[in-house]
Amino acid sequence: MGFLTLASLSKVYGDHAAVRDVDLSVAKGEFVSLLGPSGCGKTTTLQMIAGLVEPTSGKIALDGRDITREKPNTRGLGIVFQSYALFPHMTVAQNVAFGLEMRKVARAERDERVKTMLGLVHLAQLADRYPRQLSGGQRQRVAIARALVIVPPVLLLDEPLSNLDAKLREEMQFELRRIQQSVGTTTIMVTHDQAEALSISDRVVVMEQGRMTQIDAPYRLYERPATAFISSFVGKMNRLDGVWRGHGPSGTPQINGVSLPCEQASFPDGQAVALSLRPEKILLRSQGQGRLDGTIVNRFFLGSYWLFTVETPVGALSVSVPNHGEEPAGEGDSVALDWAPASLRVEAVAATAGAAA
């Protein structure tokens, strides 16, 4: 049994099920992210763990203790809200000390713990400043310090980086992971940002329409998405419909009569299949020197890489190419696409969903 477990957890509002039959087991010290689009149920799940929303059914257990019906203040969990919710009339040190004061911790111990925590989040020199005098990243670290100073068994983060600009957000996600690893606190984070979830989590839980549709390590989630929704939501993905031609492992998928080298797979002849290929797994080569010829119809420069749309006999494909400092082929140019066969994933679909070969 995990340190924190959710068993058949549901929340229903009238005829709408915000969360449906969620099961999750989180190990002690693990960092788990709940990832999904707006309205998928991830925030409601976090609020049920926190005790801010009462479940309709199911059970929440913490270290073997049933906390499903406990009040939020008796669960002892640390929570960082999207807005940080700092007290504007209190200094940084006073904000961090607030939870300890509520717990009647002695002044000497309180001061020592606040000092230690501010050192951990690199804010020791700003202890006497007020929230209005801090940057967004500094306010976020104050909120984390305030949540962790009470030594909670679980830290809950509700979109903690969403109010930061893009550059600071990227910096702070690694800082957040550093702090969590230093303390070793079990952490559940809600986010809609797939890059954020993949980069700092031990496991990622993808939620869709109130259900947890895949729970996996970031690498496996990215490489082996369980559904078409996950493959498109987590990173970019080329998805094509085709038909398996040949019998068993000796066959290949075909689209418009074109055979495409793929991972090892085995399907009966005529089986409708869905093909998935990440844009960064495709190499851009000179025409006639790849597996598939095509024409560039769009080209976008994104700093660290170029993103192309290439029209081919099997359809339009997105191709991501690292920026090596030289201008690559342009719109209207004829090119070839190449990839390692193992990069092209194949899965069976309903017969009516396949495209004619």
Mean pLDDT value of segment 2-16: 95
Inform me whether the pLDDT recorded for 350 exceeds 90.
no
Q: Which range among 40-54, 127-141, 157-171, 301-315 shows the weakest confidence by mean pLDDT?
A: 157-171
pLDDT at 288: 93
DSSP per-residue string spanning 34-92: EE--TTSSHHHHHHHHHTSS--SEEEEEETTEE-TT--HHHH--EEE-TT----TTS-H
What pLDDT is recorded for position 351?
53
pLDDT given for residue 250 in this prediction: 87
Q: Please give the Cα distance from 328 to 111 (Å, whole number).
A: 59
Q: Sorting pLDDT into bands at 50, 70 and 90, what band is 356? A: very low
**Dist CA 325 CA 31 (whole Å):** 37
Nearest to 332 by CA among 290, 299, 289: 299
pLDDT tens for residues 221-275? 999 998 888 988 998 999 999 999 998 888 999 999 999 999 999 999 999 999 9
Residues linked to residue 295 through DSSP beta bridges, in sequence order: 311, 334
pLDDT for the residue numbered 9: 97
Tell me what percent of the residues of the chain surpass a pLDDT of 90: 83
Residue 280 carries which DSSP code?
Answer: G
Pairing mode, strands 292-301 and 305-312 = antiparallel
Please determine, for residue 209, whether its predicted confidence score (pLDDT) is greater than 50: yes
Q: What is the reported pLDDT for 2?
A: 86
CB 95 within 8 A of CB 133: no
CA 351 from centroid of its chain's CA atoms: 32
- Each residue's pLDDT tens digit, 56-112: 999 999 999 999 999 998 999 999 988 888 999 999 999 999 999 999 999 999 999
- pLDDT-based confidence at residue 279 (cuts at 50, 70, 90): very high
State the Cα–Cα distance between residues 324 and 321, nearest whole angstrom: 9
Q: What distance in Å separates the CA atoms of residue 204 and residue 222, rounded to the nearest whole number? A: 10
User: Do the domains spanning 4-232 and 236-353 agree at the CATH topology level?
Assistant: no
Phi and psi for 50 in degrees, rounded to 5? Answer: -70, -20
Residues 127-144 have pLDDT tens digits of: 999 999 999 889 989 999
CATH number at 4-232: 3.40.50.300
Asked if residue 11 lies in contact with residue 56, where contact means CB atoms within 8 angstroms, the answer is yes
Q: CATH number of the domain at 236-353, out of 3.40.50.2300, 2.40.50.140, 3.90.1010.10, 3.40.720.10?
A: 2.40.50.140
Structure tokens at 308: 């192309």
Q: Which of 168, 145, 184, 141 is nearest to 31 (CA)?
A: 184
pTM, full prediction: 0.88
113 pLDDT higher than 70: yes
Q: Is the pLDDT of residue 114 over 60?
A: yes
Q: How confident is the model at residue 1 (pLDDT cuts 50, 70, 90)?
A: low
With CA atoms as reference, report the closest residue to 153 among 263, 59, 67. 67
pLDDT digits (tens, 9 = 90+) for 293-320: 999 999 999 999 999 999 999 999 999 9
Least Cα distance to 297 among 287, 285, 307 occurs for 307
- Strands, sheet with 334-338, edge to edge from the N-terminal-most edge strand: 283-286, 334-338, 292-301, 305-312, 315-322
The answer to whether 38 and 206 are in contact (CB under 8 A) is: no
Kindly report the backbone phi and psi dihedral angles of residue 139, in degrees, each rounded to the nearest multiple of 5, phi listed first.
-65, -40
Provide DSSP, 78-120.
Answer: EEE-TT----TTS-HHHHHHHHHHHTT--HHHHHHHHHHHHHH
| Domain boundaries defined on the chain | 4-232, 236-353
